[in-house]
Structure 1
């Protein structure tokens, strides 16, 4: 299944259909529409492999299905990005979190913060629980963090859990929520709690994690040492260590490769999840914004670059207006980034799409876009 953060690549329409067919046996129901992490899954891939309706051939025919205004207030909070699960769209606003029906945008419930959130919370849905981690802004010099579990059907608070000294990173996978961070006194810890009841599962003092879990493996560092350690997300047990520094923000959808910056921050590395071995290096890439089984999508100055996921070789590059690819979503063979849509195979800009925001998500034939306090759902016309 997302995570504090916070992004998907795609394949041509025929391959998407093939993947969907392979994942769904004949006669079985299609996958329930979901985007239940900020980056789609615990791997933070930002790639939905199940989308077959909105494709390069149809994305230019999107029309508004419904639109709602999010709650606003005079506070230090801000609007977040939507996630989708159980027939609901969950999104943070200036007062807390609200849930809307995917079918018509009807508001189903709201949960208000105690105080205010300094930034949009990290949210994910697992096992019927909406998990949210946030940092308040009541004291800018010494903020506090909170971690809560809400019933996805009603918004009722089920638990509030123990956290790291200050939540900076969150990973949610295998029924466990892992939080990590350092407070202003340099107290540092990684703390894991169970999604089911919010009870502490394990704790590691002096450790910080990265924001992705590759099928249950998370990387991080000891603040008193050098190198990178990989550990089990459910138990905290060490799986392997390497002497070099690696910052992993994304993993392959299959959970077998980490992607992240090299120790000096100049290159992109693909690293084996099994043993930490470097598989390939791509120089002069700013950072991964999405991954699928075919391509790795990277921000590159004022553009976006697609690399071969097996070799790191550049496949295409597309210039983007004003800035590079700060985030991306890939579904149905379309890359959504910087407010535009690109063909995932060629990088060609697809015209006719509505004006989109910094971040859109696509699932179940619906594109959800949050822009300046308005949440809008789009579907294909005709």
Structure 2
């Protein structure tokens, strides 16, 4: 009996310390890079077996549906046709659910976890001329609403960093604006009219565009850091640099000064990931890796089917099909299901075909 309490305590601690994935892009930078993953790698990827699989809740008609799950505090949080549900990472057992007031008129939310709260940002889907949005904070452990804002503007972008949730939006009937709220209690911290925000932050720095200019502000204050006379949208970032696109090229920008470090014409993409050494981009069936030092293409792989958002973890790149070596682009595994994949704590969690599934290397 004297050994059971320490064993039980160790088991509970292991559950509480399950590595997380608390933003859609792993972090506020939208790097889609998990540097802590070590259990799933080239030597174990072909031994994956299913740990559990549960059906996602359905409703018809509905504007909401499955997206990349989050992993936080030993839970896997997934969107579905009714709203959001939390599942135990160890077993798939459902812990709580949250339903939209009107599932027929609520889009799939963007999600992030911070300070023990699950932040959800979405809007309605039936009004093209006067869409509205909402920002809701739920207790991660219980699913109870902690605070909520019903907005008179749509949510076009969403980012959470440094204890601040930032949204921006614009429509025919609403003024263009970027608004920041304190995560802890939902209090509005600042509002910048006429500006739209990127969805990727760089160590507390955020890009805002207004016309043909781009301004970097700091979080949480919203103070202006620099302004440049060109329009840039950050698709991904590192703690010191922004990866931006303008419709014609991919560029690397110094986050502190706004200095242009390099431009790669024709390499623009909305599907980017970076590990600080290479930039992984997906366009159609083509996946490429660029050297982050100069934008030079290191390798390119053409897939049989269109690639999904690249995810980098354990020396591998997941693109919704064959799993590739991050260093060379060589196919390491034929891959698993095409759903949005989150790789953390020695497991892959994916939502696809109406199911939330966890797989892990065979032990």
Instruction: State the TM-score, normalized to the length of structure 2.
Output: 0.91
After superposing on structure 2, the runs of 4+ consecutive aligned residues of structure 1 that deviate more than 6 Å are none
What is residue 26 of structure 1 aligned with on the other side?
none
**Structure 1 segment 145-294 matched on structure 2, within 5 A:** 145-161=133-149, 163=151, 165-222=153-210, 225-252=211-238, 255-262=239-246, 265-287=247-269, 288-294=271-277
Aligned-partner SS, 2:169: strand
Aligned-partner SS, 1:41: coil
Matched, 1:303 2:286: yes
> C-alpha offsets along residues 202-235 of structure 1, whole Å, 9 cap, x if unaligned?
111111011111001000112xx32211011311
What is residue 334 of structure 1 aligned with on the other side?
316
What is residue 347 of structure 1 aligned with on the other side?
329
What is residue 71 of structure 1 aligned with on the other side?
57
Q: Distance in 2 between matches of 1:162 and 1:303?
A: 40
**Structure 1 segment 314-325 matched on structure 2, within 5 A:** 314-323=297-306, 325=307
Q: Distance in 2 between matches of 1:349 and 1:126?
A: 35
What is residue 6 of structure 2 aligned with on the other side?
none
What is residue 296 of structure 2 aligned with on the other side?
313
Q: Distance in 2 between matches of 1:124 and 1:282?
A: 31
Between 108-117 and 57-66, report the one with greater CA deviation. Answer: 108-117
Q: 1:119 to 1:162 in 2, by over 3 A?
A: closer
Between 344-353 and 331-340, report the one with greater CA deviation. Answer: 344-353
Aligned-partner SS, 1:119: coil
Q: 1:115 to 1:140 in 2, by over 3 A?
A: farther
What displacement does 1:301 show? Answer: 4.5
Are the equivalent residues in 2 in contact too, given 1:68–1:376 (CA < 8 A)?
yes
What displacement does 1:79 show? Answer: 1.7
What displacement does 1:249 show? Answer: 1.1
Matched, 1:380 2:361: yes
Instruction: State the TM-score, normalized to the length of structure 1.
Output: 0.87
Q: 1:140 to 1:373 in 2, by over 3 A?
A: farther
What is residue 37 of structure 1 aligned with on the other side?
23
Task: Between the two structures, name the one with larger relative contact order (CA 8 Å, sep ≥ 6).
Answer: 1
Between 300-309 and 267-276, report the one with greater CA deviation. Answer: 300-309
**Structure 1 segment 100-179 matched on structure 2, within 5 A:** 100-116=87-103, 118-137=106-125, 139-161=127-149, 163=151, 165-179=153-167
What displacement does 1:284 show? Answer: 1.4
Q: Distance in 2 between matches of 1:60 and 1:164?
A: 49
Are the equivalent residues in 2 in contact too, given 1:161–1:200 (CA < 8 A)?
no
Size of the aligned set, in residue pairs, is: 345
Q: Distance in 1 between matches of 2:31 and 2:209?
A: 22
Q: Distance in 2 between matches of 1:164 and 1:315?
A: 46
Are the equivalent residues in 2 in contact too, given 1:35–1:85 (CA < 8 A)?
yes
What displacement does 1:352 show? Answer: 5.0
Q: Distance in 2 between matches of 1:161 and 1:182?
A: 17
Are the equivalent residues in 1 in contact too, given 2:70–2:77 (CA < 8 A)?
yes
Aligned-partner SS, 2:49: strand
Are the equivalent residues in 2 in contact too, given 1:177–1:193 (CA < 8 A)?
yes
What displacement does 1:286 show? Answer: 3.1
